[in-house]
Amino acid sequence: MKSKVYFVPVSKADSGEIVKKKLKTLLEKSGVLGVVERGDKVAAKIHFGEEGNTGYVDPELAGVICRAAVEKGGEVYLADTNVLYKGSRTVTADHIKLALKHGFSKNATGVDIFIPDDTKKEETLEIAIGQKYIRTAKVGRFFIDCDSLVTISHFKGHMLTGFGGAIKNLGMGCATRQGKLAQHNNLAPAVYPDNCVACGACVAICPVNALTLKGDNAKISLDAKKCIGCANCVGVCSTFSLFVDFTAGSAVQEKMAEYAFAVLRNKKKKAVFINFAMKINKECDCWGGENPGIAPDVGIFASLDPVAIDKASYDIVNRVCKKNVFRSAHPDQDGTIQITHAEKIGLGRQEYDLVEV
Ligand code: SF4
Ligand code: SF4
């Protein structure tokens, strides 16, 4: 049996009000928010965008979803977890401040923000899942303790995983910093010291002091045990002395799917997924630098199946663009690995029926 994926097309010519109206129609006609029942505590999982990023889901659109979930009787919180690298989303207080700066105020969305503080044991949880890579997943407790989960994802490209959608939003996005580290490890960049001109830019940007330059005529050296695979250094090195080891990409995608499995394990018929294939940029919402668009606005998808919605979003964006824009942007990354592994471990089905509303 195929999974249903509901879809409403959106174009750049649509005003903000028209897009909101289309989203409301999508929610009403698909009925996907039926997973939220009166009295439920609801985690509306979202990415608030890194400082300097503009690709994240529009707060007004997130507000349409949150308000609809509140109308169903849910006690709704927009939620995310803190990140590995040093930035504006590393600790809870800064993260909330940035979310508000990006427009996710209660006035805009109708709900409060909740970001677990993973330095507090009571706000994290370890879940034994015994999968291929991940034996025990470390996640924000709120995403497990909530009664229903509304996954609001920006569908876009990604340097390590080809693309990011529902599976990534859940797998990487609900993990604690330790959990994110478990997914990123073995991702230290490859180093070509002969190219290094000792400018020090990578040393300055590394959040964990994994890079060093010592002595006269120093060349860069990397401590792979310290590296968390954030790829910040790759972005600042102008001499191509540091490269992402793309062969590690398949493992991170499979780990991510396994973390999504951990989050969804107690959410049978209590989780919904909404993908925004709009502002489709080359890189993810953690990217604060230059981030070119790789496709026009395509539309909004909704489903009860995280695998089917990511497969449908991937297919339709590529169909509209008449080429695989994700492989063009990241030729070394096959993003479908996450979809295949997610299906294999029982998160959902790749086969879908697309229902345009
Ligand atoms: S990828 Fe580069 S910047 Fe990031 S932790 Fe590793 S060495 Fe440091
Ligand atoms: S950014 Fe590149 S050139 Fe500069 S120190 Fe680091 S590796 Fe060397």
CA of 233 to the centre of ligand 1 (A): 6
| Cα 65–chain centre separation | 18
Cβ–ligand 2 contact at 198 (below 6 Å) = yes
Look at residue 138 and give its three-state secondary structure. strand
Q: Give the nearest ligand 2 atom to 201 CA.
A: 1
Which ligand is nearest the CA of 186, by number?
1
165 Ramachandran zone, left/alpha/beta (phi>0; psi -120 to 50): beta
DSSP string covering 26-45, please?
HHHHH-GGGG--TT-EEEEE
Q: Whose CA is nearest to atom 6 of ligand 1?
A: 227
Which regions of the chain are under pLDDT 70? 85-86, 185-187, 230-231, 244-249
- The total number of residues written for the chain in this structure: 357
* Residue owning the nearest CA to atom 6 of ligand 2: 202
- Which among 115, 108, 123 is positioned nearest to 88, based on CA atoms? 115
Domains of the chain: 3-183+248-356 (3.40.50.11440), 188-244 (3.30.70.20)
Ligand nearest to the CA of 190: 1
Q: Is the Cα dihedral 295, 298, 299, 302 positive or negative?
A: negative
Cβ(187) – ligand 1 distance below 6 Å: no
Contact 240, 195 (CB under 8 A): yes
Atom 3 in ligand 2: which residue has the minimum CA distance? 196
Residue 337 Cα to ligand 2 midpoint, Å, equals 32
Q: Answer yes or no: are the C-beta atoms of 347 and 307 closer than 8 Å.
A: yes
Distance CA 175, CA 179 (A): 5
Contacts of 119 (CB under 8 A, 6+ apart): none
Q: Is residue 183 a contact partner of residue 259, using CB atoms and an 8 Å limit?
A: yes
- For ligand 2, what atom is nearest to the CA of residue 213? 5
Amino acid 267 reads K
Q: Supply the residue whose CA is at minimum distance from atom 2 of ligand 1.
A: 233
Which atom belonging to ligand 2 lies closest to the Cα atom of 219? 8
* Strand, coil or helix: 222: strand
Ligand 1 in reach of 211 Cβ (< 6 A) = yes
